[in-house]
Amino acid sequence: PYQGMSKERLLDIRKHNCNPMTMKVTYYKKPVFINQGHMQWLWDVDGRRYLDLFAGVATVSVGHCNPKVTEAAEKQLRRLWHTTPIYVYPQIQEYAEKLVSLLPDPLKVVYFTNSGSEANDLAVLMARLHTGNFDAITLRGSYHGGSPQATGLMSNTHYKYPVPSSLGCHNTMCPDVFRGLWGGSHCRDSPVQTIRECSCSPGHCYANDMYIKELKEVFDTTVPSRIAAFFTEPIQGVGGAVQYPKNYLKETYQLVREKGGICIADEVQTGFGRTGSHFWGFEGHNVIPDMVTMAKGIANGIPMGAVVTTAEIARSFAKGVHFNTFGGNPLACAIASSVLDTIKEDKMQENSAELGTYLLTELAKLRDKYEIIGDVRGKGLQIGVEMVKDKASRTPLPQEAMNEIFEDTKDMGVLIGKGGLYGQTFRIKPPMCITKADADFFLSVFNQAVLNYTERR
């Protein structure tokens, strides 16, 4: 029993009283009962230790209960938890200044929220007010949040309800160079490449041209002549670490701006050094968005989100009064500030780059070894391993098979995630403090889980 409650009782309450269908109660056949965390480790109620490579979905950026962040939180808890942003308290200014110093010009004005969904809701509203247009375009397979507005933006059947969500949201094809129609194996910004041959000539990506043509078709057939916004995740998260051809964002940004729209980078998963080579995912695409939304890793698991935009867009937004009770509260700001310090002091972005590249390279060797590992991709510690029935058909590996490998990996002591439109992609997005020994442990566990599955067949 845990604090007087058996596991059966805990699950029973979850099934009947607490978001009953959460991840089909709850994620594993034998769910994990988490009790405690430290850095990249979690312990269950029986004292069993897990290497956490999912990090609350790329949220625990600098490690569970990171001692530096915990100390900052404790200090702030004793001083002031909450007042209201109507008053001036130092933490919000201190953090705002620190955060915008990490973004390129002209992205210098920040609004705080409490989640990624709220940040994206705010971003749509600001885009509409600024441009005077209404329609927003997002990529198929994208995830932008669970509010009615953000549900309209995102494109993932699993998270949709049969009720009207936000009006004026449209999708264009996701330029997925593995599962998409046109290949594009040498065109994405990753240490490893897909295995399909592509039709590109040097310096010129055929797939990219085709996906750009798709967007133009959306402009010609689906939306009004002027649009409000184009939303993209620099690497799709829930969609399964999907990466686009190298010039895709650069070219689409230009087209969107010609249509009067603003370009919004959803950095909820890719921000704060996760992609390793850059602090923000968009920097890897060589673009500067008009607005950046962020959450998750911003405060290492304490609810917080933000929208950063330009002074010009902020002026358009000043026509009304924007208020958010908890947004930018002193506790969240003190924690987020300490997260930024920790990423820098402990060289976590550098670690993301180094260990991400190592993991991707080693996982690509497993891809070449096993018929059911179709694709290995990503950047830094935002990694996807797409599983297939076989390499020729690329049919998604059925869920029963995915679940066997997933459960086995957990039983051997490693937590990873699942994603992709067909639940076919394992997702690796650990706290950015993992070590090479952790990476090696995971690689041997994952190898064993895939081997176990293939031997059972």
414 and 405 Cβ atoms separated by less than 8 Å = no
Taking residues 401 to 430 in sequence order and writing x for each that binds ligand PMP by CB under 6 A, - otherwise, the string is ------------------------------
Q: 295 vs 372, which CB is nearer to ligand PMP?
A: 295
Q: Among 109, 65, 84, 61, which Cα is nearest to 276's?
A: 61
Q: Considering only the stretches 69-77, 127-135, 141-149, 350-358, report the one whose residues sit in contact with ligand PMP under the rule CB under 6 A.
A: 141-149
Residue in 32, 57, 125, 366 binding ligand PMP, rule: CB under 6 A? 57
Which residues between 315 and 344 bind ligand PMP (CB under 6 A)?
none
Helix (H, G, I), strand (E, B) or coil at 430: coil
Amino acid letter, 409 = T
Cα distance between residue 32 and residue 246, in whole Å: 39
Q: Considering only the stretches 93-101, 131-139, 265-273, 442-450, report the one whose residues sit in contact with ligand PMP under the rule CB under 6 A.
A: 265-273
Q: 183 vs 237, which CB is nearer to ligand PMP?
A: 237
200 and 167 Cβ atoms separated by less than 8 Å = no
Cα distance between residue 406 and residue 24, in whole Å: 15
CB of 145 to ligand PMP, least distance (A): 4
- Note the residue count of the chain: 457
CA angle at 150 for the pair 289 and 209, rounded to the nearest 5° = 50
Q: Cα-flanking dihedrals φ and ψ of residue 137, to 5°?
A: -120, 135
Residue in 131, 151, 194, 269 binding ligand PMP, rule: CB under 6 A? 269
Which residues between 143 and 182 bind ligand PMP (CB under 6 A)?
143-146
Size of the site for ligand PMP (CB under 6 A): 16
Q: 119 vs 200, which CB is nearer to ligand PMP?
A: 119
317 and 126 Cβ atoms separated by less than 8 Å = yes
CB nearest ligand PMP: which residue? 116
233 binds ligand PMP (CB under 6 A): yes
Helix (H, G, I), strand (E, B) or coil at 219: helix
Q: 183 vs 234, which CB is nearer to ligand PMP?
A: 234
Q: Considering only the stretches 25-33, 232-240, 332-340, 436-444, report the one whose residues sit in contact with ligand PMP under the rule CB under 6 A.
A: 232-240
Residue in 51, 177, 205, 268 binding ligand PMP, rule: CB under 6 A? 268
Rounded alpha-carbon distances, angstroms, from residue 278 to 93, 236, 282? 25, 16, 8
Tokens representing residue 229 in the block: 């916004």
Which residues between 274 and 303 bind ligand PMP (CB under 6 A)?
295
Q: 268 vs 449, which CB is nearer to ligand PMP?
A: 268
Which residues between 103 and 122 bind ligand PMP (CB under 6 A)?
115-117, 120
CB of 149 to ligand PMP, least distance (A): 11
Maximum separation of any 2 CA atoms in the chain, in Å: 66
- Asked if the peptide bond before residue 430 counts as cis, ω within 30 degrees of 0, the response is no
Q: Cα-flanking dihedrals φ and ψ of residue 378, to 5°?
A: 125, -175
Q: Is 16 buried (19+), middle (13-18) or exposed (0-12) by CB count in 10 A?
A: exposed
CB of 368 to ligand PMP, least distance (A): 30
Footprint on this chain of ligand PMP (rule: CB under 6 A)? 57, 115-117, 120, 143-146, 233, 237-238, 266, 268-269, 295
